[in-house]
Amino acid sequence: MSRIHRLDRIVADQIAAGEVVQRPASVVKELIENSLDANARQISVHLLQGGQSLIEIQDDGQGIEPDDMALALERHATSKITVLSDLDHSPWLGFRGEALAAISAVSRLTLKSRLPTEPVGRLIRADGGHIRDQDLVAMAPGTVIAVSDLFYNTPARLKSQRSPAAEAGWIQHLVEHLAVGRPDVAFRVDSEERTLLKTPGRGDSHEALYQIYGRELGEALLPVDYTGMTGISIRGWIAPAHLHRGSRHAQSLYVNGRWVVNWILRQAVEEAYRPQVPDRRFPSYWLWIDIPGDAVDPNAHPTKDEVRIDKERQVAALLFRAVHDSLVQKSTAPELALDANIAHESSGEYDQAQWSLVPTESSPADGGILHQEFLELVPLAQWQAKYIIAQGPLGLYLIDQHAAHERLYFEELQRGKGQALVMQPLLVPYALTLTPLEWQALERYRPTFEDAGFEITGSGGTTVMVRSVPQGLRDLPDDPAVFRVILESLVSGTVQHDHPITWIEEPLFAMAACKAAIKAYRPMSHPEMVALIRNMARLVDPRGCPHGRPTLIRLSIEEVDRRFGRKG
């Protein structure tokens, strides 16, 4: 008797559904993508119990043809592609024809849809993938999908769900990403009776961000607009570094319009922020990356949020450059937020009077805004032998003398590294057997290694001989093992800079700078303070010390006026 048999269609669908539908948020994602593909201008999501008892998604999209209603719930039924090669240029977010089928397999689903041309809509109900009944229904044009009792027939999955509040939180973050990505669509999320999120849908991503994240962030956003030589363009908004957060929820990357998660690209952006963001804190950014079409494979992952990107490193390098330049050019001194401020910030309500849509000031030709601020600073006194109090164009400034001086030394050391190098040939060459990945990294970066003073020859197979090492990489032993350390960091992908050897030295520069710089509790005379501030204005990147602490903070004159009850 045969022991292998074909699975019942329902069971097979439930298993397949597990890949696509992992939690209520996955349902929301799939359905919103469907709505967006249907050219909806308004999408609203209603949740009960964090989506576990009900997820209802309503849109004003083009609707489903009455004859297609039943077919829409079948697996691999889609209107979006017909042959596989369509995928390469697919403008659609969904394309596999899996979402609705998968969701209906693990829930009780009600699908209502009306074409704009029809007088009434059609309704179809399915339980666990079985169609129960069909009917006519009165409704506005568009589609409404109600998913209730999610996972009612897959107890194991049901058990592993988190609390309703946690799921609602996930859904909120998810819709945040999608809503920012499509500012032309009005999004709304309600959980029980509360509105979690609402965007105006007027096509302005800055407006959407302001709505979602509130005034403090909305006003501080810095624009990024950068086009690389190979046709890759990067646009969007980044938050100044001092508004760092405890999670990565406020980070979105949209590659060719699709919201994606990509570790390497994320690293590149965070690297650009690194001098200013402390450990375990994360910057916020929303960036649209346009790469010529064929470079992206959206079909790499069942939930489609991890995409494969050709020339990933190149894109990462561009991202780093774009974000870094924007930060250096447009950062101002982080403003000191006083308690009263916190009370009326980020109420989340859209309040036209509170803000104008003018983005941050454009930068002067010579240096960034921060450079200009430093140039105009006049030191008043030293406070606690730790901070310099200075007055400047935008208010009162506190400068951390150690952080500032440390930055100064850091850049000096960095400059020094560019000087003509000397290499020490080895009497006894160092033989090293490389892994295939290390070999690849070496082949790719060989000229860089050679420019830095390494002399490397092959010795059969993947064994190489290090015959010379650079003399005096800062504080690094003149040791051939440094070569391996650099290779390993290249392989593990922790290097973002164009120059891997520089990268190796950077933490050492930071440490040396920290040691050399004046410490807290060191009294400073007025000329010393003037000199330090003048020098800061000449730095490439005066934002923070190499360890991520800011060099200065600002108390605005408006804030002080307000506190004293003077209405300017």
Partner 1 sequence: MQFTVDQNQLAQALSMVIRLVQQQNTMAVLGGVQLTASDSGLDVQTTDLFSVMTVKVRAHVIEPGTIVLPAATFNDLIHRLPTATVDVQVDPHSGKAVLKYGRNRATIHGFGNDQLPEFPTFGEGVVSVTLPAGTLTSFARQIIFACSKEESRPILKGIHIELGSGKVVLVSTDGSRLSHAWAALPDYRGPEMRLVLPAKILAEASRLDSSGQPIVVTFRDGFVQFATQDTMLTSRVLDGDYPDYQRVIPQDYQVQIRVPTADLRGSVERAHLIASKDRSNAVKFNHQIGLLQMTASAAEVGQAQEILECDSQGSEMEIMFNSTFIIDALKSFSGEEVMIEFSGVQSPARIRDAANSQYFHILLPLRQLV
Single out the residue of 430, 465, 488, 549 in contact with partner 1 (rule: CB under 8 A): 430
Nearest to partner 1 of 344, 446 (CB atom): 446
CB 416, min distance to partner 1, A: 7
Single out the residue of 227, 424, 433, 459 in contact with partner 1 (rule: CB under 8 A): 424
Neighbouring CB atoms inside 10 A of 167's CB total 23
CA-atom Rg of the chain in angstroms: 29
CB 454, min distance to partner 1, A: 10
CB 428, min distance to partner 1, A: 4
Question: At which residue do the structure tokens 């950014």 appear?
Answer: 285
CB 52, min distance to partner 1, A: 53
Single out the residue of 425, 433, 440, 526 in contact with partner 1 (rule: CB under 8 A): 425
CB 412, min distance to partner 1, A: 9
Return the half-sphere exposure (C-beta side, CA atoms, 13 A cut-off) of residue 219.
14
Nearest to partner 1 of 283, 453 (CB atom): 453
Question: At which residue do the structure tokens 């490389």 appear?
Answer: 434
Copy the structure tokens of residue 144: 């409404």
Judged by CB under 8 A, does residue 428 bind partner 1? yes
CB 524, min distance to partner 1, A: 23
Q: Are 561 and 567 in contact (CB under 8 A)?
A: yes
User: Interaction with partner 1 in 479-538: which residues (CB under 8 A)?
Assistant: 479-481, 484
Nearest to partner 1 of 221, 466 (CB atom): 466
Q: Give the contacts of 169 (CB within 8 A, at least 6 positions apart).
A: none
Nearest to partner 1 of 227, 435 (CB atom): 435
Q: Are 453 and 422 in contact (CB under 8 A)?
A: yes
Buried (b) or exposed (e) across 18-50, using 16+ Cβ within 10 A?
A: bebbbbbbbbbbbbbbbbbbbebeebbbbbbbb
State the SS3 of 145-159.
Answer: EEEECCCCCCHHHHH
Copy the structure tokens of residue 153: 């027939």
Question: At which residue do the structure tokens 């030589």 appear?
Answer: 229
Which x/- pattern over 262-291 shows residues binding partner 1 (rule: CB under 8 A)?
------------------------------
CB 475, min distance to partner 1, A: 10
CB 498, min distance to partner 1, A: 19
CB 427, min distance to partner 1, A: 5
Nearest to partner 1 of 471, 494 (CB atom): 471
User: Interaction with partner 1 in 393-422: which residues (CB under 8 A)?
Assistant: 416-417, 419-422
Euclidean distance between CA atoms 176 and 210, whole angstroms: 12
- Applying CB under 8 A, the site for partner 1 has a residue count of 26
Euclidean distance between CA atoms 517 and 406, whole angstroms: 5
Q: Are 27 and 47 in contact (CB under 8 A)?
A: no
CB 434, min distance to partner 1, A: 15
What's at 10, amino acid-wise?
I
Judged by CB under 8 A, does residue 440 bind partner 1? no
CB 437, min distance to partner 1, A: 20
CB 93, min distance to partner 1, A: 51
Nearest to partner 1 of 359, 472 (CB atom): 472
Nearest to partner 1 of 84, 420 (CB atom): 420
Nearest to partner 1 of 139, 426 (CB atom): 426
Nearest CA to 368 out of 205, 525, 539 is that of 539
What's at 559, amino acid-wise?
E
Nearest to partner 1 of 45, 487 (CB atom): 487
558: left (phi over 0), alpha (psi -120 to 50) or beta: alpha
Single out the residue of 1, 156, 365, 427 in contact with partner 1 (rule: CB under 8 A): 427
Q: Is 124 exposed, middle or buried (0-12, 13-18, 19+ CB in 10 A)?
A: buried
Nearest to partner 1 of 446, 519 (CB atom): 446
Which x/- pattern over 451-490 shows residues binding partner 1 (rule: CB under 8 A)?
x-x--------------x--xxxx--xxxxx--x------
Nearest to partner 1 of 88, 475 (CB atom): 475
Nearest to partner 1 of 151, 454 (CB atom): 454
Q: Are 284 and 209 in contact (CB under 8 A)?
A: no
Number of residues assigned to the chain: 568
**DSSP assignment string, 22-69:** SSHHHHHHHHHHHHHHTT-SEEEEEEEGGGTSEEEEEE-S----GGGH
Q: Note the residues at the interface with partner 1 (CB under 8 A).
A: 416-417, 419-428, 430, 451, 453, 468, 471-474, 477-481, 484
